[in-house]
């Protein structure tokens, strides 16, 4: 199984996510996330289930806002993002970024970071980590300053999220109809898709989830013994 973007068993990482996503929440959501973060930092006993539930709830609540910012800054606002990030990183990192961008004729920050030679050009992981952290803060600040102008994108994101929710719930319902081994397989896929979509923000075509639903719907009509035989 591929490494998760957010392993919900990793308590410090979950707290980091609550801080990150909390910037996109409404007042009530920020307060709730902030309380859990403070309780954790104060050493109060919080179960892993409590932290995981809080992270999942916040992830869904803030997904439309995070989606809207990402869509804008990787689209028509890509040059604006480039300028904000290069202005906020260390001068030495900005110099490397600009030199590499010019050399490979990249147009956006994503094109720079996803280039096959990016790791070499930016020397080591220090610069990559710095850029990722700065980019995260830049996007948070952009959301706070421009949330009203992103309302159309947010509305579109809410519809997109509804489609994801519906399909993930369908897979969970299907899982309940299977014997334990197959149930674990389906739920493992659901968790992986939820991680990629809801926590990391990856845009997976709805058709991919529809294909999973169709496959496991067919499997439900096969006896457990036949199912194991076909998949073995």
Number of domains in the chain: 1
100 in a domain, yes or no? yes
- As a whole number of angstroms, the distance between CA 213 and CA 149 comes to 36
Q: Find all residues with CB under 8 Å of 219, minimum gap 6, and list them.
A: 178, 182, 227
191 in a domain, yes or no? no
Q: What is the pLDDT of residue 225?
A: 46
**Which ranges of 176-222 does DSSP label H, i.e. alpha helix?**
180-194, 206-220
| pTM for this entry | 0.86
How many DSSP H helices and E strands does the chain contain?
12, 0
Q: What is the pLDDT of residue 227?
A: 44
35 in a domain, yes or no? no
113 in a domain, yes or no? yes
Structural domain boundaries enclosing 124: 78-147
Q: What is the pLDDT of residue 96?
A: 93
58 in a domain, yes or no? no
97 in a domain, yes or no? yes
Q: What is the pLDDT of residue 2?
A: 58
132 in a domain, yes or no? yes
23 in a domain, yes or no? no
Instruction: List C-alpha distances in Å: 186 to 20, 181, 191, 199, 222.
Output: 29, 9, 9, 19, 15
**Mean pLDDT, the chain cut into blocks of 10 residues (232 residues total):** 83 95 95 96 94 96 96 94 97 94 94 88 81 94 94 96 97 93 94 96 94 93 52 42
> b/e string for 103-136 if b means 16 or more Cβ within 10 A?
eeebebbebbbebeebeebbeeeebeebbeebbe
């Amino acid at each position: 199984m591929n490494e998760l973007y957010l392993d919900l068993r990793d308590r410090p990482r979950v707290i980091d996510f609550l801080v990150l996503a909390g910037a996109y929440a409404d007042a009530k959501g920020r307060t709730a996330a902030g309380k859990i973060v403070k309780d954790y930092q104060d050493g109060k006993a919080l179960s892993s289930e409590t932290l995981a539930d809080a992270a999942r709830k916040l992830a869904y609540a803030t997904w439309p806002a995070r989606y809207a910012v990402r869509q804008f800054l990787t689209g028509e606002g890509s040059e604006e993002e480039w300028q904000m990030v290069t202005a906020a990183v260390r001068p030495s990192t900005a110099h490397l970024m600009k030199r590499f961008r010019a050399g490979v004729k990249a147009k956006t920050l994503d094109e720079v970071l996803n280039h096959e030679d990016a790791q070499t050009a930016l020397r080591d992981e220090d610069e990559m980590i710095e850029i990722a952290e700065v980019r995260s803060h830049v996007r948070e600040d952009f959301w706070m300053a421009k949330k009203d102008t992103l309302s159309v994108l947010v509305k579109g994101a809410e519809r997109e999220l509804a489609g994801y929710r519906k399909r993930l719930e369908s897979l969970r319902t299907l899982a309940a109809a299977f014997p334990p081994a197959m149930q674990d397989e389906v739920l493992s896929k659901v968790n992986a898709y939820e991680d990629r979509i809801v926590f990391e923000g990856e845009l997976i075509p709805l058709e991919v989830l529809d294909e999973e639903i169709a496959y496991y719907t067919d499997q439900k009509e096969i006896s457990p013994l036949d199912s194991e035989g076909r998949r073995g």
